[in-house]
Chain A
Amino acid sequence: AQKVTQAQTEISVVEKEDVTLDCVYETRDTTYYLFWYKQPPSGELVFLIRRNSFDEQNEISGRYSWNFQKSTSSFNFTITASQVVDSAVYFCALSGSGNNRKLIWGLGTSLAVNP
């Protein structure tokens, strides 16, 4: 069975702090995909990143970076120099390949960045 665990339900930081959101996944698939989505207070789901199981390179996009480690089944997300606009719920999700494309979601981490 596939499962995504986001152990941190809420995180509160002060602006300009770095913050890491943890994501641990379980799957028996050899090919799978990991995602992060952002849900701001307005409610929409904003795609941030996709990683496939064969690509363990870390990725950096501006203040965002992602650390994928198959050995620990983790796909952590770091925001550097956080800003108030980063306040949102962040979801980690997992999908298989082929016909198994549904997204399995973690419970989300609510991030509050305070001025």
Chain B
Amino acid sequence: EPEVTQTPSHQVTQMGQEVILRCVPISNHLYFYWYRQILGQKVEFLVSFYNNEISEKSEIFDDQFSVERPDGSNFTLKIRSTKLEDSAMYFCASSESDGAYYEQYFGPGTRLTVT
């Protein structure tokens, strides 16, 4: 069964460093998302991406964040200068195109620890 994959599973970085989180969505999916979950808290939407551009972003997704689909398979989230409060689990998700059935399938997550 196709699945969303994410690398690395755990990333430790120092405050102020740049990190890139990688995701490979399901191959025929056209919508891509990033969410984050601070430990013990709810899942929060960061950004959605469609047709090679951001379709929606939350207030969390400030200038420190960027997303890119550098090739036909990868979808990346970059944090330019990490802060302690960026420590969280980051989930990538993808969904099919239009239609009634577009549940988002999630990757296993990348745990980001900023020290």
Contact = CB atoms under 8 A, between A and B. Distances in A.
Nearest to B107: A44
Given A43-B108, A102-B56, A50 B103 contact: yes
Contact of A45 (B31, B44, B58, B91): B91
A43 B108 CA distance: 7
Nearest to A100: B56
Nearest to A50: B103
Contacts of B55: 99, 101
B89 A103 contact: no
Contacts of A107: 41-42
B75 interface: no
Contacts, number: 55
Contacts of B41: 107
Interface residues of A, number: 21
Interface in A69-110: 91, 93, 99-108
B48 A101 contact: yes
13 contacts: A43-B111, A44-B108, A45-B91, A47-B103, A47-B104, A47-B106, A52-B100, A99-B55, A100-B56, A103-B45, A104-B45, A105-B42, A105-B43
Interface of B: 31, 33, 35, 41-45, 48, 55-56, 58, 89, 91, 95, 100-109, 111
